[in-house]
Amino acid sequence: AQTVTQSQPEMSVQEAETVTLSCTYDTSESDYYLFWYKQPPSRQMILVIRQEAYKQQNATENRFSVNFQKAAKSFSLKISDSQLGDAAMYFCAYITQGGSEKLVFGKGTKLTVNP
């Protein structure tokens, strides 16, 4: 079964500090894509960062970066210089390539940013 596991239901970080959100997934596929989505209180789902499984280089988007460990099936999100606006639910997600693509989400991690 294709699953995505986020083991941290809640995390907190001080403003300007760095926090890492963990995500592991289970798949037998070799080609797939991984995403982190952010859901603020407005409930809109916002794409934060994505990673292609065939790329070894970790994706980076401004203050957001990932640590992608394909062998370990791990895809953690690092947020540097945390800002109050980063407070939200963060969802890790995974999608396979080919056939009937399906986006599988983790259960989410609630991030609190303390001033």
Chain positions contacting other proteins, by CB under 8 A: 32-33, 35, 39, 42-45, 47, 50, 52, 89, 91, 95-98, 100-105, 107-108, 110
Write the DSSP string, 78-92: EE-S--GGG-EEEEE
CB of residue 24 to other proteins, shortest distance in Å: 16
User: In terms of CB distance, is 17 or 101 closer to other proteins?
Assistant: 101
Q: Which residue has the tokens 């640590």?
A: 67
DSSP 8: -
Matching residue, tokens 């080919």: 98
In 3-state terms, what secondary structure has residue 3? strand
Of 45 and 58, nearer to other proteins (C-beta) is 45
When the beta carbons of 14 and 55 are compared against other proteins, the nearer one is 55
State in angstroms the smallest separation of the CB of 49 from other proteins.
10
The span from the CA of 13 to the CA of 84, in Å, is 10
Report, in Å, the least distance between residue 36 CB and other proteins: 10
Task: Please count the other Cβ atoms lying within 10 Å of the Cβ belonging to residue 112.
Answer: 14
Shortest gap between Cβ of 27 and other proteins (angstroms)? 13
